[in-house]
Amino acid sequence: MEIPIALIDALRHAKHIAVLTGAGVSAESGVPTFRDAQTGLWAKFNPQELATREAFARNPKMVWEWYAYRRELIARVEPNAGHYALAEMEQRAKNFTLITQNIDGLHERAGSKNIIELHGNIFRTKCFREDTRVSAWLATDEIPPRCPRCGSYMRPDVVWFGENLPRRALDQALRAAETCDVFFSIGTSGVVEPAASLPFNALRSGAMVIEVNPEETPLSDSATFCLRGAAGVALTQVIKALNSRL
């Protein structure tokens, strides 16, 4: 894949690089994206219906088991070349902000440091009623387990549809999009708000915006560059081109 020289030069001179990732960056690790038909047991459910407070209130056991199934799947996979390329890009950058919609923790496992988890983390758990994190609880065979403090059901510490994003995370992500020189939008269909607006905020603030995605998205026509391919391939090529233009 050809990486434009102007892109590499912008990266080399950038004071602040910001990156937004979506499920596509974990696809090469074997984690199904939202747009893929849900595999196996969950093929008949729509994530937008399952990832909501209403679904949990209606059927806490089913929603808890959906997340337990995804946790087990994610715990068995490894970060891929795309995750590692982003960790390397951060090492080389003066200032680097990684904003992720993903809840799989793979960026951290690949060595990325300055990570903003817009939608939480599937490996963290919180009390459904108190909305505060719970790090340990007595193992029981009740599903979902109950909060050791108040006895309410526990839930994954992720942002469901219809729920506000963590205020601090969203503010930091907005600030990064508005102050960076280069903004990557990688592996996201650009449908879910407010994350989907971040690349447009960056464009409006004068940043170079690069889309990395094998398919077109609502951002494609506005992006400065589109790298039409898999994140693992494209980002590895970007790092290679950076190294060759030392």
- Catalytic residue IDs: 119
How big, in percent rounded to 5, are the helix, strand and coil portions of the chain?
A: 40, 15, 45
Specify the residue, 141 or 193, whose C-beta has the smaller distance to ligand BV8. Answer: 193
The amino acid present at 58, given as its one-letter code, is R
Region from 106-114, 143-151, 167-175, 184-192 binding ligand BV8, contact rule CB under 6 A: 184-192
Specify the residue, 81 or 180, whose C-beta has the smaller distance to ligand BV8. Answer: 81
The reply on whether position 107 binds ligand BV8 by CB under 6 A is: no
Residue count at the site for ligand BV8 (CB under 6 A)? 36
Q: What are the distances in angstroms from CA 57 to CA 64, 142, 148, 153?
A: 11, 16, 19, 10
Specify the residue, 61 or 94, whose C-beta has the smaller distance to ligand BV8. Answer: 61
C-alpha atoms less than 13 angstroms from C-alpha of 244 in its C-beta half-sphere = 9
Answer for which of 10, 18, 19, 51 binds ligand BV8 (CB under 6 A) is: 51
The runs of H, that is alpha helices, within 5-113 are 5-13, 24-27, 47-50, 53-58, 60-75, 81-92, 106-109
Specify the residue, 148 or 194, whose C-beta has the smaller distance to ligand BV8. Answer: 194
Answer for which of 11, 23, 134, 226 binds ligand BV8 (CB under 6 A) is: 23
Closest-approach residue to ligand BV8 (CB): 24
Q: Which secondary-structure segment (H or E) carries 160?
A: none
Encoded tokens for 161: 């549809």
Tell me the β-bridge partners of 211. Answer: 185, 226
- Around Cβ 30, how many Cβ atoms within 10 Å? 12
Residues between 123 and 162 that touch ligand BV8 (CB under 6 A)? 158-162
Answer for which of 10, 213, 239, 241 binds ligand BV8 (CB under 6 A) is: 213
Region from 11-19, 132-140, 172-180, 183-191 binding ligand BV8, contact rule CB under 6 A: 183-191
- Around Cβ 221, how many Cβ atoms within 10 Å? 9
Chain residues in the site for ligand BV8 (CB under 6 A):
22-24, 27-28, 33-35, 48, 51, 101, 103, 119, 158-165, 187-189, 191-195, 212-215, 217, 230-231
